[in-house]
Amino acid sequence: MEYPEIKENAARITAELERISGGRTKLLAATKTVDPDRIAYAVNECGIKYIGENRVQELLEKYEAVKDLPCEIHFIGTLQKNKVKYIIDKVSLIHSVDSISLAEQIGREAVKRGLVMNVLCEVNIGYEQNKSGFLPEEVPEAFDRILQIDGVRPLGLMTMAPICENNEKYSEFFNKTYRLFIDNCVKKIDNRYEPVLSMGMSSSYAAAAACGSGMVRVGSAIFGQRIKK
């Protein structure tokens, strides 16, 4: 089945990211509530190389249908420690490590399977009470501690900026996260792994790319408004 709106949206966003960052910013399609047929179309026909799921149960339901697509599967949502075992061998990067205890659980499950899991430290850059993640001042120590955990490879940071009214406001949060990333991640792993900074979503990907984001997580701007389940 053809989905011309997905192709048009993906092409437009890809071109915009190319213009803003010269191709430095990678496009991840956030596939929450998106059916496997449309995901496959986005990957096979629109050049999407990264997809991200928010919920463990939804990832498991879709996994058989998407596991052989020519793309990386990432986990980008809140992850409970007791559910790590279900996805540890199914994703290549977990964006949302919001505590040392979660990182330790990921490490234990990875070691059991002879794996090393790539992870990002989630930063609560806006100090929002309803969001998880390390506060900015906690990032230096947290990243250092996660570097020491067997079975885990911390590659950088992820943030969800507060909802802002314009790109200028978004840029304030993204610039702060970028500086944390440079000071606390790039200098520590640059000679070993490619650092990753994941920030920017459908309403803010342009501002994020302009502020140095290495990956933007875009859902509704590609697939249209989500269908609530």
Q: Is residue 102 part of a domain?
A: yes
pLDDT at 192: 83
- Could you tell me the pLDDT band of residue 225, with boundaries at 50, 70 and 90? confident
Q: Is 157 helix (H, G, I), strand (E, B) or coil?
A: strand
In the chain, the percentage of residues whose pLDDT exceeds 70 is 98
Q: Which domain holds residue 123?
A: 4-223
Q: Is residue 179 part of a domain?
A: yes
Q: Is residue 228 part of a domain?
A: no
Q: The domain spanning residue 202 has which CATH number?
A: 3.20.20.10
CA–CA gap between residue 179 and residue 127 (Å, rounded): 16
Tokens 């964006």 correspond to 95
What number is the average pLDDT over the span 94-110? 98
- Could you tell me the pLDDT band of residue 56, with boundaries at 50, 70 and 90? very high
Token pair in block for residue 115: 């794996």
Token pair in block for residue 82: 């007791």
CA–CA gap between residue 34 and residue 220 (Å, rounded): 10
Q: What is the pLDDT of residues 178-200, one digit of tens each?
A: 999 999 999 888 778 899 999 99
- DSSP labels for 87-121? HTTT-SEEEEE-SHHHHHHHHHHHHHTT--EEEEE
Q: Is residue 229 part of a domain?
A: no
Residue 34 amino acid letter? V
pLDDT at 189: 85
On the 0-12 / 13-18 / 19+ scale of CB atoms within 10 A, 184 is buried
Number of domains in the chain: 1
Q: What is the mean pLDDT of the chain?
A: 95
